[in-house]
Structure 1
Amino acid sequence: MSASDRPGSLTPLARLGFSRLTEAEALLDELAALIDAPRDALLDAAADAADPDEALHALARLARRDPAPVRRARERPAAWRALWALLGASTGFGDFFFRHPAEVDQLADAGERLPTPEELRSELLASIDAVDGFAAEGGESAWVALRVRYRRMLARIAAYDLLSPSPVDEVAVVSARLADAAGAALEASLAVARTRVSGGAVGAGLFPRDQVARTKLAIIGMGKTGARELNYVSDVDVIFVGGGDDDAIEEFGESRVVDIATRLAVQTMRGISGVEIEPPLWEVDANLRPEGKQGALVRTLDSHLAYYDRWAKSWEFQALLKARPVAGDDGLAQAYIEAVQPKVWTSAARENFVDSVQRMRERVTEHIPPADVPYQLKLGPGGIRDIEFTVQLLQLVHGLSDDRIRQRGTLEALDALVAEGYIGRAEASAFSQDYRVLRLLEHRVQLRQLRRTHLMPSRPEELRVLARATGLADTGDGVWQLWESVKREVRDIHVRLFYRPLLSAVAALPADERVLSTAQAHDRLAAIGFADPAGALRHIAALTTGLSRKATIQRHLMPVMIRWFADGVDPDYGLLAFRRLSERLGDTHWFLRMLRDSSGAAESLSRVLSGSRYVGELIEWIPESAAWLDDPELLRPRSGVALQQEARAIQTRHETVVDAMRAVRALRRREQLRIAMGAILGSVTIEEVADALTTITEVTIQATLRAVRREVVPPEDAALDFSVIAMGRFGGAELGFGSDADVMYVYRPNGVDPQRAHELALKLVAALRNHSEDHRVPLELDADLRPEGRNGPLARSLEAYEEYYRRWALSWEAQALLRARGVAGSVKLIGDFMELADRVRYPQVVDLAATREIKRIKARVESERLPQGVDPSRHLKLGPGSLSDVEWLVQLLQLQHAHAVPEMRTTSTLGALRAAESAGLIPASAADRLSDAWRLASRLRSANTLLSGQTSDVLPVDRKKLDGIGRLLEYPPRSATQVEEDYLGTTRRARRVFEKLFYG
C-alpha cells in the first residue's frame, strides 16, 4: 500500500516530531524492507530523537550499507533507543556509524549507565593492546583503532546523556566522564607514541626502547580537562612535564631525556589530532605551557618551577588552579601538582592581582566578533566564562587563607564558597543552575556535528531541535527565551561579585592578618596530643561548618571523637582519614545514623583510623566498609566457601580477564580491610588473621588461574594440567599483613607436546603474576623456593620434579617442601605432587651430612641475609629467637621424625611444634618458649604493617611507632619500652632453646 493509500498516516509522524513527512514515509518503507521489520514498529523510539527526520535519514543510509547491525539493534530495545537518540542529536555520530557499522552492536546497554573511568581507560588501552606502557604496534592503524574505540565510548556517554530524564542534572557527571575519556585517550596515544619513538613504527626507531621506557612524561590536564568539566568536542589543554629517575639522567643525560619526552609529546598529540583515515578526536592544545607557543613543548619539573618563580604572569596561576594529572607518569605529575599548588594559592597576594584578572576577562569579551556576541554561549556577556571567572577570582582571593575553597571544578567551588560564606546561597544556586543550563546547551550544539563550537543556532529549525535535545523548552522560541534570561541573570550576578571592592581589599591584606586567631583551640589540640593543631582545626571546620544535617550531627559528635582520636596512636592521621571518609559518606543516611545512634561504631571508627594507616588508606577506597563497625559479625572473616562463590560469580559477570581481575582485586582488598579492622578491634585472633589472609590469597590465586587459563590455553591443549603449590608461610597458612605468597608451579602435559606444554605453563605463570599485581594491596607471587632457587625454571613438569628430587635435591629443597601445599589448579595433579613431596620431605632416615648442611645454611642466613646496618636483635624474621629460629628448628625435627610421627606431617609451624612436644621430642617448656616467640614476632610483624601501611621486618626504634604497635597489640598507652622489653626477652629465651636443640 502506498503512502497515499493510508489516509491520515502522516499525522502520527508529525506528533513524533517529524517535519519532512513525505520523505519520512518513503524512508520508513525502505528501512522496513532493508531490515525486514514491521514498518510501524520502527517508530517506537522515534520520540527519543531530537531530530527524527535526521535520525531516520541516518538509519536508512546505514541500513543501505549494512542492514545487519540495524536489524540487531532493532531487536534490542536499549540499543534501538540509543541509536535513535544519537542519530537524532548528531549527524557526526551518523557519519561515524556509517564508517563503522559494526559499532552499532556496541550500543546493547547504552543509555542505561555511564562507563566508569576505569572502563574508559581499560577500553582505550585495550584498543591498542597496551602492555607496560607500550602499544603492540606503532603504525597508523593503532591510532585508527584508538579513535574508533574512543568514539564508541563517546557514543555510550552521549546515549546516557541524551536519554536521561533530566539531562541538565547530569551535566557535571557527563562532563567528568568526558574528561576521563580524554585522559584515557591521551594515555593510550602515549602508549602508541612510546612504541613509535622506540622503533615500533615502520622504519628504524629513534631511541632505544629501554631509554624510552625509563623516560617519564607527565601530562597535566588544564582548563576544563583538569577540572573534569570537558565538552564533547573541545580543545584539551595540557602541559607536558618530562623527566627520569636519577639513574636514567646520569646514564644518558637530562637533555636526552627531554628530547625523548618531547618526541613522545609530539607523537601523543599527533595520535589524537593528526589527519588520519579516521578523523581527529580533538585538538591537543599545549599553549598554556611556560612562554606559550614560543616555549619548549616539554620541560623538566625544575625548569617549570624556575619559570613560575621568576616570569609567570597572574593569568598563568589562574590557569593552574585547575591543573590535574590526566596521563603519563603519575609520580612526576603529582610532584608537579604539589609543587605548583602553593604558588597558585599565594598568587592573589601579587600587586594588582584582582585588577589584572578583571581586565583579562574584559579583553576576552572585546575580542569576540560583533556578529557572534548574541550567540556566544562561552565567551559572551552572561556566558559560561562570566561564571567561571567569578568563581575563580573568589577562590584565589579567599583561598589565600582558606584551603576549604580550593577546588578545581566550578560547581564544586561554588558549593565550597557558599558553605564558607563567601557567596550567598541564592546567588550560588542561580549560578549553579545557570552554569548547568549553559553547559547543556553547549554540549548539544557540539553534538550536532561533533565539532567544536560555542554558538547558539540562529535558524528556527535548529532551535527546535535544540529544544528537543535539551528538554529545556517545548519550542525553538522557548529555548531562545531561556537563553536570554540566563544571560541576563548570569551577567547581573557576575558584575556584582566580580567587581566587589572587598576582593581587592582582601587580596591586599598582609599574610599575618588573613587568618582569624584560633590560639585557644590550637593550644587545646596540642595539649591533648595533636602534632599539627592548625591542620586539625581545618579538618574540624570542614566537618562542622554549615547548616546541613551532616554538619549538625558532626558538631555533636566532634568533641567526643576528638578525644577518641587523641587517645589513639596518631590523632592527626585519624582525623584526616575521618574527614576524607565523611566527605565520601557524610551525606548517606546510614553513615550519619550510625555515627549518632550506634553505641560503639563511632569510637571503633576513631580507633581504627587513628591506629592504622593501612586501614585508613583502604577505607577511603572502600567507604561502605564503615558499616561493618555497627555489626561485629561483619568484622569476622568470611568463609572460604563464600569467597569462592563470590569469585566464581564475578567471573561469570565479566567477559575479559582484565575486567574479571579488577573485580577480584576489589574483592581481595575488601576482605583484607575486613580482616585488618577485625584484628585492630580484637575480634579476630592472630591465628584467625593468618587463616583468613591465607584463604583470601588462595581464592585470589584460584580465581586468577581460572581467568588466565581461559585466555592462555587454547581448546586443543585443554588436557594440560597445571597447579600452584603454596610454600613457606603461605603453605603453612601463616600469612600476615604484607606477606609475600611463596609458590611453586607444576604441570603435566597429558598428551600435549612436552615443549608446547612447557611454553604454555610459563605463559600461565606470567599471566598469573601479571594479573595478580595490585598496586594498592600488593600481592607478590614469589617462586624463589623452587628447586635451584632463582636459577631454576619457573615451572616444571611433575616428571621433572620427580627426576630432580631423586637425583639432585639439596637438603634445603627437601626442607622447603615441608610447607608445600596445593592451592590452585588440577586437584589430581596436586595429589600426585603431594605424594612426591611426602617421599622427599618425610624421609625414613636423614643422614648426618644433610643435617650438617641445614645447620650450615641456617648460620649463613643469619650472617648474610640480615640487611646491612640493622640490629639483628630487632629483626622479626631473621633475628635471634625470631620466626626463622623457630621455623628452622621445627623443620629440622620434621625432617628427622615426621616419617615415624604422622602427627608432625603438617605445614603448620605451631602444629608441628606441638606434635613434636606430644611425641616427647621437645620439652613442654621449650615448646612454650618457642611458640611464644613465634606468635609475638608474627603479631609484631603484622602490627608494624597495619600501623604504617608499609611492610617491614624490623622492630622500630622510634618510640612513637613502638607505642603504636603496642596499642595494636592491646598494650596500654605509652608502652613502647614494655613492647621492646617483652620482645627482646621472649626472643632471648627462645634463642637459648633453639641453640640447645638445633646445634646441640
Structure 2
Amino acid sequence: MTPGRRSSTFTRLLRHGFTDPSAAERLLDGAGLSAVRDDPVLLDALGATADPDLSLHGLAALLEAQPDPTARRVLLDTLRGSKPLRDRLLGVLGASTALADHLARHAGDWRALVTYEPRDLHPGIAKFERGLAEAADPVALRVAYRRCLLSIAARDVCGTIDVAETAAELADLATATLRRALALAAAAAPEDAALCRLAVVAMGKCGGNELNYVSDVDVIFVAEAAEGADEGKALRAAARLASHMMRICSETTVEGSIWPVDANLRPEGRNGPLVRTLSSHLAYYQRWAKTWEFQALLKARPVAGDLELGAQYVAAVGPLVWQAAERENFVADVQKMRRRVVENIPVAEVERELKLGPGGLRDVEFAVQLLQLVHGRSDASLRSGSTLEALRALAGGGYVGRADAAQLEDAYRFLRSMEHRIQLHRLRRTHLVPESEADQRRLGRSLGLRTDPVAELNREWKRHAAVVRRLHEKLFYRPLLDAVAQLAPGEARLSPEAARERLVALGYADPAAALRHLEALASGVSRKAAIQRTLLPVLLGWFADSADPDAGLLNFRKVSDALGRTPWYLRLLRDEGAAAENLARVLSAGRLAPDLLMRAPEAVALLGDGDGGGLEPRPRAQLEQEILAAAGRAGSGEQAVAAARGVRRRELFRTAAADIVGSYGTEAQPAEADQGELVDLVGGAVSDLTAATLAGTLRAVVRWGSPRSGEAGSGGGWGDALPTRFAVIGMGRFGGHELGYGSDADVLFVHEPRDGADEREASDAANRVVGEMRRLLQLPSADPPLLIDADLRPEGKSGPLVRTLKSYEAYYRRWSLVWESQALLRAEPVAGDEDLGRRFVELIDPLRYPERGLGDEAVREIRRLKARMESERLPRGADPKLHTKIGPGGLSDVEWTVQLLQLRHGWEVPGLRTTRTRQALTAAREAGLISAEDAGILDEAWVLATRVRNAVMLVRGRAGDTFPSHARELAAVGRCLGYGPGHVGDMLDAYRRTARRARGVVESLFYQD
C-alpha cells in the first residue's frame, strides 16, 4: 500500500472515531477484512459504535471463527445488506468484549440478530423459554442464555428499547432461566419433584422487573408437601431441588457462569432453612421480621415452580408488608439501613460508587420504597415492584411533587444506563465508574455523548447524582409543605389524611399540631416563607432523626417567630452549611438547650461558624473579663448579676450545643467525638463559666453591697475599701473542673483582714459579702439555677459560712477528720484574691497529701463512711444498678477509689496531686498503682455515668442521677449517648455491664488491702 493511501485510510479511521488507527489499519490489511476497509458503509457503522477499535477487533475475531470462506462471505454480505444487523452486531461488538468472546466461540450465534420483526422487539418470558428449551445440561443452558442475552444487548445499544425495557427483558430472561434450571433439577431427581410443590419467588431487582445485566438473582423458596406426602420428607426434597437449581445457575463451567442465585433474603438469612412452608414463612414475618425484610418483600413476585403456591405466598405476606409503616421507628429503621450501606463502602470507592454511594441508585430506590410503604396501605396504586412505575404513581397521587419526580426519574434512568453499559462491557457485576480515560470514553459514547465523551459523561453523572442527593430525602418532606402552603392550586398534593400518615411514620406524635406549625412557617408568598419552604424539607428529616420530632418542630417555630424579622437568621440557616443541621439537632435533643435559646434567640448565630469555632467553649479568662466588664457597667448589684446571668445563659447554650452536635455529628461530619473528650469539654466549660459568674457576682457585691448589716442591696458598696481580702474555693466537682449542667457549686469561703483592719469589722464584712452573694444568685430567674453549697466547710452546717485563713489552719490542725482531708482533695481557688487562694492551698496540701500516706484506721474509716453513704442516700425505689452517682460502679465508686489512692500515695506521686478524677486515674496508672486494664474500666464507667447525668439534664431540663422512666425521654437520652431508635435496651444493658465491671475493680482496690 502506498504511503498516500495509508495516510488516507489512517485519516478516515481517525475521522470515524478510532483511537488507534495504526492497529486498525493492520487489521484491515488482513485478508479477512480487506472488504471492510474499502466499504464506507461498514466503516461508518463501525465509527458509530461506542468503541470502533473494539468493534473492529470483535468483527475480525468473529470472521476468523467462521468455519470457511463461504461462511465469512455470507456474514459480510449480510452485514452490508442489512442495516438492522449492522447496527446490532457491530454495536454489541463495540460495547461488550464478553459478548464478542461468546460470538467468537459460537460463530453461528450472530444469526440470532438477523431477524428484525416488530414481534422481536419486545420478547416475553415465553419466547425466552423457547430459546432455552433445548438446553439439556448446565453448559448448554449457559450458551443459550448468552444467545438470548445477545439479543437484549443488541436492542439496548441500538436504542430500540430504553433502560426500563432492557431491565424488564433481563428480568424476563432470568425468569425463563430459573424455570429451565428448575426443570433440569427436577429431571435429575424426579422422586424429589414428586414429593413436593416448590415455588420460586423472585425478590429484589428480578422481582421488580428491573434487573441488571449482571446481578445476583434474589429468591425465596416456598414449599408444600404433595398430596399424601410426609411434610418433613417433602421439605427435604424441596431443599435438594432448590439447591440443585441454584448450583445450575451459579456454578462456573467451560462456558462461564450465568449469575449467582441468592437466597439470603429468606427468614433468618443464611442461618435459616433454605425452604419453608407458607405457614412457617407467615409465622416468622408476624413475630420476628425486621423492617428491612418487609421493605424487601415489596418486590416479591412468583417466577418459577408452582406459580399458584407462589401467588398464595405473595397474597399472604402482602398485608404484612403494608402494615410495616405502623411499626415503631419505621422511618428511622429504613434510613439507618441506608446509612449502614454507605458506611460499608470502602473509602477509596465512595466517589465512584454508582449504586450505593450518596446520590446513587440506592438513594432513589430507598426514597421510593419508603413512600410506598407509608402510603401503600391506603392506596393500592402504589404497590408496584418497579421503581419507575412506583415513582410515577407517587407523582400522580400527589405524594411526590411532579417536578421532583420528573428530575428523579431522569437521574435514575441515566444512572441505570451507566450501570448497564459498565456491566455489559465484561459482563461482570460492578457498580464502579471506571477510572481509565479509554473506558470512560467508550461509556460516554455508548450513552450518545460524542462531542467530548469523557468530559460530558462526568458532567452529566455528577449533575444527576447531585439531583438525587438533593431530592432523595427531600422527596419525603416537601409534599408536606405543598399540602399546607397551597401555592399551586392546580397540582395534585397530599390529602390531609396522607400528610398525617406521613408525619406519624416520621415519628410525630401529634401530626395535627405539626401541620399547623408547617402552615404557620411556610404559608404565604413572602421571602421569609419561601426560604422556610427551602429549609424545612431538610430540617424535618433531622427532626425525624431525633427522639422527639414534635419538640424539634415546635421549638423551631418558636425560634423563627422570635427571630423571623431578623435579617441574618434565615440567611444563616440557608447559606452556612452546618448551621441549619446544628440547630435542628439542638432543638430536638431535649429541653435544656431550647429553653436557653428561647431566652437568648440571638445565640443561634453561634451555630453558624463554619469551622466549628462558634461552639468552642471560651477560656475562663475571657469569660471573667466579659462578666466583670458587664458588672462594671451595671447600676446595681441586681443588674450586675442579671448581666452575668445573660453571659452564663449564652455560654451554657454554647456548651450544650457543642455537646449535642458532638454526640449526633452532622451530615457532613458524622459523630466521632470521644466520649471522654465530651465529658471534659462540658465539665471544664461549665466549671469555668461558674467560676466567672461567681467572680462577677463578688465584684458586684463589693461594689454595690451594703457595708452596713441588715441593709442588703442598699447601694454604695465598699468600693476598694473592703476591710478584708476574700477568696472563693471550689470544692467537689466544681474544684475538679467536672461540673455538669445541673450541678451545685460546692465552695468554701475564706478571708483575711487587711493590714490595720479591725478583725470584727473584717469578719462582719466577709459574712455580709457571702450573704449578699447568695441572695443575688438566688433571685428568681428562669435560667438554670446556680446554687452555692458551703456544707463542706468545717463543722458543716453548724459552722460559720466564712473563716479567716488562721481559723481554717487552727481547725484543720486540731479537729480535722479524715473525710475532710478527702474533701479537700478537690479544693481549688476559683474567685477572689488570688494570693489568699494560693496560701489556702498551701495550708491544706499536708492534709490532703499526708506524708507517708494514711494509717490503717483512717482507711477503715473511709470505707465505713462510703458504706454508710451507700445505704442511707440511695433514693427509695431507685434501681441501684442504674443510679449513676451512688449505685455500684457509679461515680462515687470510681471517685472514692481514686481519692483513696491520692490520700495514700499523693505525697510520693506528684501526678496524683490534682483535683481532677481522670487525671489522677491516669497518674495512678502511670505510677503502677493500678493496672492499665483496671484504669480503663474505671475511666469508662466514670465517663459513661457523667455522660448519662449530662444527657438527663439536656433532655429533661432538670438534674437527675438515674435514667428517665418516660419512654420518649429515655429514647432521647439514648440519642445523646449515640444509641439510635429502638436501642434503649442496648443502652441500659451497656450501662449495667460497664458499671458491673467497674464495681469489680472497686471491690478489689477500695475494699481490699
Sort the TM-score into its range (normalised by shorter chain).
0.3 to 0.5
Bigger Rg, structure 1 or 2: 2
TM-score (norm 2): 0.47
TM normalised by structure 1 equals: 0.47
